[in-house]
Structure 1
Amino acid sequence: MPLKSQLISCCVIFLLFAKSAFAQEGYWLGWEEKDQEEIYWEIFEADEQRNTKIDSLIAGLKTQGYLGADWEEEYDRNDSLKISFYYGPKVEYLSLRNQNVPVDFLKGTGINQISLEDYNELVKKILGEMENNGFPFSSLRLDSLVLEENRLEGSLHLDRGPEILWDSVRIASSSKTNPNYLQRLSGLEVDQPFSQEQLDRSAIRMSRLPYFELQAAPQVSFRLQKAQPNFLLRDRNANVIDGIIGLLPNENDPGKVLITGQLDLQLYHLGGRGRDVVLKWQRFNELTQSLDLGFKESFVFNSGIDLRGEFSLLKQDTTFIKRHVGLDVGFRANQNVYVRFFTKRQASDLLASSGFGDLTELPDFADLRWNEYGIGIEADLLDQPVFPRRGFLVDFQFSAGNKRLLQNTALPEDLYTGLTLNTPQYALQLEMEKHIYFKPYWGAFLRSASGWIQNQNLFLNDLFRAGGLRSIRGFNENYFFASAYSYLNLEQRLFFDRESYLLIFADAGILENPYFAEKIDKPFAVGAGLNLDTGTGLFRFIYAVGKSAEQPFSLSFSKIHFGYLARF
């Protein structure tokens, strides 16, 4: 190819690439600020975005008091638009007459002479009040305007628009949630005035539940002066089943088999009505086992009250058996605070019936009955109920009641001489947790728990139990007895998925037990672990080493806590 033809081809190719490159530069906008000579240039991907910027600039000028502000084109070429502004006179303040705005909306506001900034805030306040009282389409306008120098006079007129009432909620998905339950949960009452504030609160309230999650902000359909809220829900896999069953030879009864193991079954939102059932059973040797049952019914008789029932049984080797029955009545004070009142009856009895004849004082365990009544308050400020990354949670519980000691016929009667059998007993528990989110892959978790129980005749089967995976790791479950305790869990978490992370931790506590040689114990533990979301469940593995007054700090006493929670 001749040199001339090659040069022409290169020029054509260059122009084609240059045209393409310039076309990709987008749409430019240039303007000058008032009393400044500098020209500001900004580029946009589309012409609509550039027009939106112009509207924003004009709105900003009007907010500054240039109510007559407008713009005109200076030139428009090569996708570059330069504009200039017309400012007009600047309004420093307004002098307004109230035409039909409710007087309550204007309390504390002198509209006879009000700055433009305060006027804009007043407009937001009035329209917000109307929006939250059934008039979401209301508007404000100024009539009979007169401009005198830097003052604008006129009448303030409110156009209420149609009154809008709530319609029944609609679930815009295939969620199993019952519409009647969602209606009660939302707090939106049919035929009551529309309120955007109520709708926002209902979204927050729903985000606190583990049953489902909102996939988008609730939408509202307006028709025939009715507002129907639409909630797009996605059900969570909240149900849990976890269990281990073991068959061992029964050493105390040769030829027979001993069943050991544990079962953790948690069923949530049964029937889509916020109905929960919990069953937990543990038996790791022949002599000790525990059983916990729980039931919750939400919005009993279509009221705002939840009802909970619970039963637990603990058989501690051959020493004692303890059981309690409880009933809770709770309600949600607001979207963050839940209040409950409860009553419990606890009963504990000695199992051994021999070997007490030579005692000179009561043993560490006793037959007792305790009827307690209390209040619990939970403040939930977590960002979400399942695997939160940010937020704070506080759970407080206080109870009081009468405890009655029963005289055991296997014990000498004189052991009870001078002992007050009926005494008041008090208990207090406080738990707090904090989630900190540093980066997408790094976070921290802190939990503090404390408890205190008071009675002039405390026995070991009265006391709190601590130790294990859910309290102080590095020890067996329920290893400690305590009349007062406080412990802190600190975890650093390295996330590699939304609900999967590696962790290192340190646990430390202080416990008081009047029946031990060292009444004050200060256990601590350190360790590491893994929390792995498998899609259908959760696998947890934790290795911990702990030290207390009864257990030395040694790898030979280390504990491995692991398990798999299947979710469905």
Structure 2
Amino acid sequence: MLLSCCFFCAFGQNLNLKIYGASEVETLSIDSLNYQKKHKDLVSLENEINTSLQTLYKKGYLESYAENIKKINDSSFICKINLNNLYEYLEVFYNTKKDLLKDILRDKHPNPFTLKFSKTESTLNELNENIGNKGFPFIKLKLDNFKIKDKKTVTAYLVIDDTSKKRTINNIVVKGYEKFPKSFLKYYLKIKPKQTFNLNKIKKQIRALQSLSFASEIKTPEVLFTKDSTTLYLYINKKQSNAFDGFLGFGSNEDTNKIEFDGYLNLNLVNNLNFGESFKLLYKSDENDQKTFNANLSLPYIFKSPVGLDLGLNIFKKDSTFTTAIQCAKLHYQINPEQKFYSGIINETSSNLLNNTQTAFFDYKKNYFTIGYQYSKPQNNDILFPVNTLFYIESNFGERKQKNNTTKQSSQAINTFKIFNLNKKNSLYFKLSGAVINSRSFFENELLRFGGINSIRGFEENSLYATLFGVMNTEYRLKLNSNIYIHSVIDAGYYENEIINVNEKLFGYGFGFGIFTKSGLFKLNYANGKSEGQQFKFSNSKVHISLTTIF
């Protein structure tokens, strides 16, 4: 007994405890425990002494013990703890016939393995967690049969309770968004029945929902264990992910000095059938009498497989000069929530609408094989800039047929951007985009078209034709609050047109701002574009206005 009956008079008072060692060095070691010195009663005081002893055992003072507590006065008590020898190392043996132990220990821990005594508890916790991750959440490890080997080392045996059965996921229940696509559980989140139960891994996998535009996690997963089954509960919320986007642009015509308008409508429908599908529709008509129609359909995990299907149609008409139609069919494989690989075919047909045969426009057909790769990383809890990083690269190989002539061709394209967050309010945005056509000869109606709000700002939409181009967009962004930001516009570009033997540098300067309202994200950009050597003119400025509505 550490307490004697003479302590009854101390009940109901604030008690002070002082623990000391057999020497000044031992007392310093005990003080380093930062034990509690004030207590409300004697039971608390006795428990504190026992707790201090347990802590000393874990540090390697296996032979430490406490002497009887002495009463100094009605509110003060002292206790001497003799530390004795400090054992620094623990040599651990384990049964090599236990398959579970062999599987966990063989890579990092030979038999026996030695560790510092102070690391014993953390090592056991790590090993216990590893066993739990292999489907045995209720199995416990402990050390038994301690023996002193020498003044610095103690030996012990690692004992495992292997009476529990291995746990696998028997049922998956989705709460909140019950119609969440099952294929996304299996292939996107990689959570499926009959897989080994590992709660830590499941928590990491469920974070992949952050990359989805149509779903989010409500709270962390929960598990219901019964005698014969394991049920996993996932709490998922369906988000509004449909978007309607449009912008209005206007500027002065250099020839007529009149204001001309251009704009586009962009509709994006996502997961309306609870399949994870997306449908994008774009129609654009601009001041150069150019019309663009794009329709794209993406069907993930078709026929309950890990492969998805992408279909696309693009029609471009240049006044009464030519039309070009591009059809594509691609299969994609989602490597993980951030990476995707594409492969498919592209068919392109162009028609010359001019009666004049003395022109650079020709009728042709192209058949390409295409491969592509995409990496995308979201920016969580940011309604203004939901994507932090995007990298997309594509390469096409095939041939162009014009009457009886066949020409081998290839093309490559890249589109990538990155946001560097300096702090909560300030960030830098860098975007690089470009493309090139490789061919022995070129037709004007097959050239790459760029320029405008989604390319180099300050220039008319699709007003620049090239066989090769590259554009760098940069912005310094300042968030005034969570819904409003302002930014600079500094763009630079380079392009080549081998038909007219032109290569030129381009620059765009300006500013803009964005406001997230109840109606959506409203953006306004003012930019002035010019080529190298050209004088700055306010008449070349462009104002671009857009509003993206989420519904």
TM category (shorter chain) comes to 0.7 to 0.9
Hey, what does 1:16 align to over in structure 2? Answer: none
AA of the residue aligned to 1:538? L
Over 3 Å counting, the alpha-carbon distance change for 1:529 and 1:224 in structure 2 is: farther
Partner of 1:313: 315
Distance 2:335 2:483 in 1: 30
Verify the 8 A CA contact 1:463 1:481 in the aligned structure 2.
Answer: yes
Cα 1:64/1:144, change in 2 over 3 Å: closer
Q: How does 1:19-58 map onto structure 2 within 5 Å?
A: 36=28
Q: Report the Cα distance in structure 2 between the residues aligned to 1:473 and 1:54, rounded to whole angstroms.
A: 73
Say whether residues 1:144 and 2:145 are aligned partners: yes
Q: Distance in 2 between matches of 1:203 and 1:84?
A: 53
Matched residue SS, 2:539: helix
Displacement of 1:506 in angstroms is 0.7
Going from structure 1 to structure 2, the CA distance change for 1:31 and 1:548 (only over 3 Å counts) comes to farther
**Structure 2 letter corresponding to 1:561:** H
Deviation at 1:543, TM superposition (A): 0.5
Could you say if the C-alpha distance between residues 96 and 296 of structure 1 is closer, same or farther in structure 2, counting changes exceeding 3 Å? same
Q: Aligned in 2, Cα 1:325/1:143: closer, same or farther, shift over 3 Å?
A: same
Deviations 1:398-438 (A, max 9, x none): 1211221236xxxxxxxxxxxxx212211112222211222
Answer yes or no: is 1:436 the counterpart of 2:420. Answer: yes
Residue 185 of structure 2 contacts residue 191 of structure 2 at CA under 8 Å; is this kept in 1? no
Deviation at residue 336 of structure 1 after TM alignment: 2.6
Partner Cα distance (1:65, 1:562) in 2: 71
Pick which of 149-158 and 219-228 moved more.
219-228
> In the alignment, does 2:361 pair up with 1:365?
yes
The alignment partner of 1:295 has SS state of: strand
Aligned counterpart, 2:394: 397
Partner of 1:468: 452
2:480 matched to 1:496? Answer: yes
Q: Deviation per CA, 1:164-194, whole angstroms, max 9, x where unpaired?
A: 1113432322576345644543211212221
Report Cα offsets for 1:11-66 as digits up to 9, x if no partner.
xxxxxxxxxxxxxxxxx9999996649968899xx99xx99x99999898666545
Which consecutive unaligned segments of at least 5 residues does structure 1 have? 1-27, 247-258, 408-420
Q: CA deviation at 1:243?
A: 5.1
Q: Conserved in 2, the CA contact under 8 Å of 1:508 and 1:523?
A: yes
Determine the C-alpha separation between the residues in 2 that align with 1:548 and 1:80: 87
1:379 matched residue in structure 2 = 375
Kept in 2, the 8 Å contact 1:177–1:271? The answer is no
CA distance in 2, matches of 1:505, 1:34: 68
Which 10-residue stretch deviates more, 86-95 or 520-529?
Answer: 86-95
> Residues 112-147 of structure 1: CA distance to partner in whole angstroms, max 9, x if unpaired?
241237766764564344333322233222222213
Over the aligned positions, Cα root-mean-square deviation in angstroms equals 4.1
Count residues with an aligned counterpart: 507
Deviations 1:212-269 (A, max 9, x none): 22233333333344333333333333211245899xxxxxxxxxxxx99632211101
* TM-score (normalizing by structure 2): 0.79
Q: Secondary structure at the match of 1:166?
A: coil
Residues 118-137 of structure 1 correspond to what in structure 2 (within 5 A)? 123=124, 126-137=127-138
Q: Which residue of 1 aligns with 2:252?
A: none
Distance 2:135 2:393 in 1: 38
Task: For CA contacts below 8 A with separation 6 or more, give which structure has more relative contact order.
Answer: 2
Q: Pick the aligned partner of 1:95 from 63, 73, 91.
A: 91
What CA distance in whole angstroms lies between the structure 1 residues aligned with 2:383 and 2:363?
41
Letter in 2 for 1:524: F
Residue of structure 1 equivalent to 2:282: 280
- Cα gap change, 1:91/1:176 in structure 2, threshold over 3 Å: closer, same or farther? same
Deviation of 1:286 after TM superposition, in Å, equals 9.3
Displacement of 1:81: 12
Question: How far is 1:372 from its partner?
Answer: 1.0
Contact 1:382 / 1:391 at 8 angstroms: preserved in 2? yes
* Deviates further, 30-39 or 556-565: 30-39
Residue ranges of structure 2 left out of the alignment (5+ in a row): 1-15, 250-260
In the other structure, the counterpart of 1:555 is 538
1:424 counterpart residue number: 408
1:365 CA displacement:
2.5
SS of residue paired to 2:481: coil
Cα distance, 1:499–1:224 mapped onto 2, change above 3 Å? farther
Q: 1:225 to 1:328 in 2, by over 3 A?
A: farther
Shift in alpha-carbon separation, 1:261–1:487, aligned structure 2, 3 A: closer
Find the partner of 2:403 among 406, 413, 424. Answer: 406
CA offset at residue 501 of structure 1?
0.9
CA drift at 1:370: 1.3
Take 1:95 and 1:316, find their aligned partners in 2: how far apart are those partners?
A: 81
1:109 maps to 109
User: Offset at 1:162?
Assistant: 2.8
Task: Output the CA distance in 1 between the equivalents of 2:342 and 2:61.
Answer: 56
Amino acid at match of 2:131: M
2-structure distance, mates of 1:389, 1:86: 61
Question: What is the one-letter code of the residue matched to 2:292?
Answer: S
Which residue, 329, 335, 345 being the options, matches 1:333?
A: 335
Distance 1:114 1:293, change over 3 A: same
1:91 and 1:502 mapped to 2: Cα distance?
63
Q: Which stretch has the larger CA shift, 90-99 or 265-274?
A: 90-99
Do the aligned residues in 2 keep the contact of 1:95 with 1:111 (CA within 8 Å)?
no
Structure 2: how far apart are the matches of 1:439 and 1:82? 53
Q: Aligned residue for 1:265?
A: 267
Deviations along 1:50-87, whole A, 9 cap, x unmatched?
Answer: 99x9999989866654567899999999x999999875
Shift of the 197–338 alpha-carbon distance from structure 1 to 2, 3 Å rule, reads farther
Q: Is the 8 A contact 1:201 1:335 kept in 2?
A: no
Whole-angstrom CA distance in 2 between matches of 1:389 and 1:58: 53
Contact kept, 8 Å, 2:396 with 2:412, in 1: the verdict is: yes
TM-score normalised by L of structure 1: 0.77
In 1, Cα distance between equivalents of 2:191 and 2:71: 54
Is 1:513 aligned to 2:497, yes or no?
yes
- Among 184, 205, 217, the alignment partner of 1:202 is 205
2:526 aligned partner = 543
Cα gap change, 1:92/1:306 in structure 2, threshold over 3 Å: closer, same or farther? same
Give the Cα–Cα distance (whole angstroms) in 1 for the partners of residues 527 and 17 of structure 2.
63
Does residue 159 in structure 1 map to residue 161 in structure 2?
yes
